[in-house]
Amino acid sequence: MLTSITEGILCCLTGKVAGLVLSLESTEPSDGFEFVEVKPGRVLRVRHIVPERQPVVTEGQVAGNEKKDAEDDDDDDDDGGGGGSAHDCNDSNTGSSVHCKRKITVYRNGQLVIENLGDVLHSEILQCRDGDLEPCSTVEVELADYKEMPSSPDPKPVTPPVPPPLGEQKPAPPPRRRRRKPKRTVQIDSKRVISSCKGTHSDVALFFVHGVGGSLDIWGSQLDFFSRLGYEVIAPDLAGHGASTAPQIAAAYTFYALAEDLRAIFKRYARKRNILIGHSYGVSFCTFLAHEYPDLVHKVVMINGGGPTALEPSLCSIFQLPSCVLHCLSPCLAWSFLKAGFARQGTKEKQLLKQGNAFNVSPFVLRAMMSGQYWPEGDEVYHAELTVPILLVHGMCDKFVPMDEDQRMAEILLFAFLKVIEEGSHMVMMECPDTVNTLLHEFFLWEPDMSRKDRIKTATALGDTLHTLKVNKPVEK
């Protein structure tokens, strides 16, 4: 503590910022670690693990092996593990086609009305594997900017009032807010193929994105687990975090600068079907990539990401203090993060925090990251436009992200699955790795069962036919 205060005083006197970021050379084994220059002088450390698979069939062998591959298709589909093959990719592309159709209307009084006109899938993953098809519905919420304004139901036709009996007083009706001309209307009409993603599929890649103060090391349990299952995994260190370079200009840590870094990483390692897994601030970057590349992003996992509101830095935050002051307070900040980020603060949690290299960034980077969280485009409409299936994971003991924010996110999204882990907190993937790994894996393998939808349509059509026959049946004399 005294050392930190002394260094902070020297920092103020000299005008220099003490750097706590690890050097570019990682002290861990080099296997699986790469350094990618996304811009001149801007280098990110990336852990990239490619599983060992069978040799890819060459063009000269395709004609001779077509018959054998066709005969082996059934056997390979039943095999849940082992190495991948060339035709795994082709078999995995046949999934369930879901019709994504919705109308999003923003009114000037702050109302957001979402009309789901196509398929909507909501379920509890662990209890209902295939998902339930819900009928067309309408979602009406208040925008974040208008939370202080009271809401009211849809206006109904005015009917003549009935006079109350003598001696009784009619209560005053609740205030109604009349809808005015729509401010903005968005139409979505597309079809998405959703299929199971196995580790044996060579066209599947998993991207893990950490949040403020973290590093790729917080995903250690997930990277090891899914790489052993045969998945190709990619996890970068954000600029100024882990072993990535740390530019000493605040503009290097804005949302847009970091998003462009991740865009470069995504374009470099992306396969035909990609699954994005984000934590905290990293969820915003996953949302950005899913919005930018809807055909390449197959599924998204949001872990303690918060509500679907536009990002804006707080002007009254402790992170607005000078970097030298934050350096003096770094031990207190680390303890506060441990207390709020973990459900328990024992020896195990302290060791996890140390192993995960979390909150080990310089005060300058920390201040610039918090001040650079400005993303006005990422509002409710931006999230409502997503048609990718999304799994929301929330730690019940999280003191950073309230539960109602993830509930609001699930309400806005088209295909949303919310799972709450009672014994977890903000760093739930480190506290409960087995639970999170199992939950994520089931989501990766999940594929909607559209046969139930077909049965409902058939039954409805059959009922209409029987009703018509019954009505039109001639009367016997």
Active site residues: 280, 398, 426
DSSP 8-state class, residue 400 = S
Amino acid at 43: V
Closest to 103 (Cα-Cα) out of 138, 135, 134: 138
Instruction: Answer whether 111's CB lies under 8 Å from 151's CB.
Output: yes
Distance CA 310, CA 277 (A): 20
Sign of CA dihedral 55, 60, 61, 65: positive
- Lookup: tokens for 429: 């993937």
Do 210 and 241 touch, CB atoms closer than 8 A?
yes
Handedness of CA 75, 80, 81, 85 (dihedral sign): positive
Helix, strand, or coil (residue 121): strand
| DSSP, res 220 | H
Residues 279, 430: contact at Cβ < 8 Å?
A: no
DSSP E strands in 108-223: the ranges are 111-116, 120-122, 132-134, 137-142, 182-194, 204-209
**What is d(CA 435, CA 46) in angstroms, rounded to the nearest whole number?**
25
Q: Give the separation between CA 309 and CA 375, rounded to whole angstroms.
A: 9
Q: 3-state SS of 146-171?
A: HCCCCCCCCCCCCCCCCCCCCCCCCC
Nearest to 109 by CA among 138, 172, 139, 152: 152
Whether the Cβ atoms of residue 382 and residue 309 lie closer than 8 Å to each other? no
* 8-state DSSP, 390: E
CA distance 277 to 299: 9
Tokens at residue 240, please?
Answer: 């100024």
Q: According to the 3-state scheme, what is the secondary structure of 244-299?
A: CCCCCCHHHHCHHHHHHHHHHHHHHHCCCEEEEEEECCHHHHHHHHHHHCCCCEEE
